[in-house]
Structures are given as C-alpha cells and as structure tokens.
Amino acid sequence: MTRSRRFEREAHLGSGADLFRRASAALVSWDLHRRAGLVVVATGPATPGRTVILRPRSGPGAWLHLAAPCEVTEVVDRPDARGFTYRALPGHPERGWETFLVRHDPVTDAVALTLTGESAHATLLARLGAPIARLEQERITRRYLAALRDRP
C-alpha cells in the first residue's frame, strides 16, 4: 500500500485588491495551470462538479502521455479568499485532493497563493516510478506557485 503525502506550500504574490482580483481570476479560469505548463481541458471555470483533464507539456508525464482527470469538489468565493479544491478521478496517476487558494489580507494588504493537498500513487506506473513521480509532483507545485508570482 502506498503511503499518502500531505503538503502545504505558500507564495507571496504582492499586495493590493487589484492583484487579488487578477490572481483569483487567473486561478478559477485555469490560467494558473496553463502558466504552470499544463494542457487544460475543461468546459469552463472551476465550479463544483466541473471535470478538468490536465496533461503536462514537458517532463516525464508528457513523455508518457499521462492525463490527470480531476473533479472540482468545492469553491471558495469570499471577499478575502478565492479558490477551489479538486480530487483525482480514476485514471489519474495519483489518488487524493488539492486546494488552491488566493488570499488577500485586509490588514496588511498582502496577497498570497496557498496550495494544500494530500496524495498517494494510484497506478502501478506511479508506484514503480515513485521517486520520479514525487519529483514531478514537486516540480509542478513549484510551477503553480511561480505562475501567479510572475504574472497575475
């Protein structure tokens, strides 16, 4: 049985209400995922029940033609936070969930992106290539965090 891995990462994006609006719009429209180097197949923005299929454009996942189907399970839409959670669907190389949240602190005016998730290898290929699968997961997490920092 593969052990699950829980993680939380955060990136400071800058400050201001305008940055919060732009960053959160990029998040829920899947632009964060596109900027991180993924091909996104979705029929609209992140809404509960929406299915999205993610495919890497580079790295081992692209070479192996991997697809990562996910379903949005929850959406956050508050004046100070916006984002969503999705879960891996059958066919995804990992089993688990991930939350993407852009927050705006009204006191400090700071804007941050937080990624939280839990996953375990779901396929034989992911289990056999566990070290590479973990490295690839870390790489895409870093790219997610950089995607809005560079250009919200």
Q: Which domains does the chain have, with CATH numbers?
A: 8-150 (3.30.530.20)
What's the confidence (pLDDT) of residue 49? 98
What's the confidence (pLDDT) of residue 93? 82
68 Rama sector, left if φ>0, alpha if ψ -120 to 50, beta otherwise: beta
- For 47-60, the pLDDT digits (tens) are 999 999 998 877 66
What's the confidence (pLDDT) of residue 150? 58
Burial 33-63 (b: 16+ CB within 10 A, else e): bebbbbeeebeeebeeebebbbebeebebee
Q: What predicted TM-score, i.e. pTM, was given to this entire model?
A: 0.88
CB 108 within 8 A of CB 15: yes
What's the confidence (pLDDT) of residue 123? 66
pLDDT (tens place) for every residue of the chain, 152 residues total: 457 789 999 999 999 999 999 999 999 999 999 999 999 999 999 999 999 999 887 766 655 667 889 999 999 999 999 999 999 999 888 889 999 999 999 999 999 999 999 987 766 666 666 666 677 778 888 888 889 875 65
What's the confidence (pLDDT) of residue 57? 78
